[in-house]
A and B are shown apart, each in its own frame.
Chain A
Amino acid sequence: MTSKLDPYASSRETTEGTVFSVTGGDWDSLVSEIGESKEERIIVNMGPQHPSTHGVLRLVLELEGETVTEVRTGIGYLHTGIEKNIEFRNWTQAVTFATRMDYLSPIFNETAYCLAVEKLLGITNDVPERASVIRVMMMELNRISSHMVALGTGALELGAMGPMFFAFRDREIVLDTFEEITGLRMNMAYVRPGGVSQDLPAGMTTKIREVVKNLRKNFDDNAKLLIGNTIWMKRTEGIGYLDLAGCTTLGITGPVLRSAGLPWDLRKMQPYCGYENYEFEVITADTADVYGRFLVRMAELEQSLRIIEQAADKLDKLEGQPVMVADKKIAWPAQLALGADGLGNSLDHIREIMGTSMESLIHHFKLVTEGFRVPAGQAYAAVESPRGELAAHVVSDGGTRPYRVHFREPSFNNLQSTSAMSEGGMVADIIGAVASIDPVMGGVDR
């Protein structure tokens, strides 16, 4: 049985040599043909569907035996046209699109976008303090849930199955908290331009302190499994090395940059949302390898817990404050409340707009149908997401819809370093390197 006639294991000649397509069929004919060729160099396609590539990422590897000589990255398999879709929605509806970009850290997407819009509106200082504290708390909770996925899937891809269960158990605790506060586990569209969409339910700060206590206990499980574990260290030390010069020229931020030794964290250097009032440390490592990044992420979890505790204390002091900006021409009108038939406009608000205040009715109507207008100009607002600097560059033409929104996603830059990290190493180390970058393909492709 020759492979030339077999439609499932055929080979064809190209300018680069023979290309073997393996789609099933006779393995023996394929092997015998490969055995006849003199070259040691193989080009392997780790295609978009792969259990270890963190989403739909395509890696084209040139291998000489087990050593990787070249890595080419193919992205775009999740391109959704979010930025163009936003141009056809008004400023508040755009939040629902922005939040689905980097789906592991939805609150960060929303906050970056809302900070940029608030900069354009000029209301950055008018956002109520309670709203900023809630934003900070939600962002740090999101950081924990995102690092849990990074940890769990990274460990799974390198062969450690146990951490995945612990990590997702902790993530479920955080997602339950999100569900209580916002109504949804993921993609919440909670942060809106001007504040947040609704206040915390009663007694939430007590629950948050419980959650922090539980998480602090649970993080030990993973720490005991992996930190100092010989097999884990052998798989991750010295792998995926990218020093500071490489990071700066590639525009890499986040844990990858901090693992190279530079304590660059936007929360400390260019604080937003009141981060200058919280006490926490910026974690760095000096090994610039996969193990260093793993340690950085593990330690950042504890720092996030500290910030959440401080935020809960601040929220207790700010009880009863508004969570939306005071300017009625911008603030999202409806106060959502849990009624007999689910979450909806609170009955007090309905009573006000239908019974007492004509202006409120007009504002509600105009804001929901048309939306507010943002003065023309452009603004760039950056937040420190779990993967690095996530920024929204927003251009307004003075209308009710964004003219152009571009998200500077950290994974887009970080993923460019795959080639630098993996070439010269072994095939198995590519997985570790990509896992340590922690790319989220939704953000890369937008």
Chain B
Amino acid sequence: MGLEDKLPSGVLLSTVEGLAGYMRKSSVWPATFGLACCAIEMMALGSAPKHDISRFGMERFSASPRQADLMIVAGRVSQKMAPVLRQIYDQMTAPKWVISMGACASSGGMFNNYAIVQGVDHIVPVDIYLPGCPPRPEQLMDAIIKLHTLIGDTKLGPNREAIIKEVELAALNAKPTIQMKGLLA
């Protein structure tokens, strides 16, 4: 009936990376980091029966950052809150991922002023940026699914070191946004 019946001789071959990725992405626990309006949509994703985050096993929002894997920065990060955000991120144990939910977390949003950090990637490394003001719960679910794909494909060991070197080289050689010409080039 299941996978084990379709296998020839009942043996399944896989990679360590594949198994580790599969297990990690099936048990992500988000840390409660709801700040503003996006937090309400995150709560709707978590508790409204219509959009149900339990389908991923993620309904257990962990208040303690020590037990959390994913920090969904939901809402605008003010100057006063920024050090707190960094401290919570530091307290999370590896492996950890960050989704910056909403326009305010991704780039400062509509609040381009003295009080809001213009993008949470100034403070923590972000894996998925989710635009929207606020993003619908379905959009957050899409971001989580994309994150799951990302987690499932994480490399381990020497492969991981190679990927890190490659990404760093690409980032160092990348053209800054202002010098790109887009479609006009």
Contact = CB atoms under 8 A, between A and B. Distances in A.
Contacts of B113: 80-81, 84-85
Nearest to B90: A23
A424 to B, nearest CB: 26
Interface residues of A, number: 39
Contacts of B49: 165, 168-169, 172
A104 B40 contact: yes
A103 B114 contact: no
A172 B48 contact: yes
A77 B80 contact: yes
Contacts of B136: 185
Contacts of B40: 103-104, 149, 186
A76 B82 CA distance: 12
Given A24-B66, A103-B37, A77 B78 contact: yes
Given A49-B84, A186-B37, A80 B116 contact: yes
Nearest to B66: A24
A434 interface: no
A170 to B, nearest CB: 9
Given A100-B37, A168-B48, A51 B32 contact: yes
A80 B81 contact: no
B123 to A, nearest CB: 14
Nearest to A51: B63
Nearest to B112: A85
A213 interface: no
Given A103-B36, A187-B134, A78 B75 contact: yes
Contacts of B91: 23-24
Contact of B50 (A50, A78, A169, A186): A169
Nearest to B93: A24
Nearest to A84: B113
Interface of A: 23-24, 47-51, 55-56, 76-82, 84-85, 96-97, 100, 103-104, 149, 152-153, 164-165, 168-169, 171-172, 175, 185-187, 441-442, 445
Nearest to B62: A51
A81 B118 CA distance: 13
A286 B35 CA distance: 34
Contacts of A153: 43
Contact of B88 (A24, A49, A172): A49
B41 interface: yes
A362 to B, nearest CB: 29
Interface string B18-49: 00000000000000111111011101100111
Contacts of A84: 113-114
Contacts of A175: 44
25 contacts: A23-B91, A24-B66, A49-B88, A50-B63, A56-B81, A76-B80, A77-B35, A77-B78, A78-B78, A79-B80, A80-B116, A81-B113, A81-B115, A100-B37, A100-B110, A103-B37, A104-B40, A164-B47, A165-B47, A171-B44, A172-B44, A186-B134, A187-B134, A441-B36, A445-B78
B111 A47 contact: no
Contacts of A96: 110
Contact of B111 (A50, A81, A164): A81
Given A79-B80, A85-B111, A169-B49, A51 B61 contact: yes
A78 B37 contact: no
A168 B116 contact: no
A81 B109 CA distance: 13
A408 B91 CA distance: 37
A49 B133 contact: no
A153 B42 CA distance: 13
A187 B133 contact: yes
Interface string B65-102: 11000000001101111001001100100000000000
Contacts of A77: 35, 78, 80-81, 84
A445 to B, nearest CB: 7
The 9 closest A-B pairs by CB, nearest first: A103-B37, A81-B115, A51-B63, A168-B48, A77-B81, A81-B113, A168-B47, A172-B48, A51-B32
A364 B83 CA distance: 46
Nearest to A187: B37
Contacts of A441: 36
Contacts of A152: 47
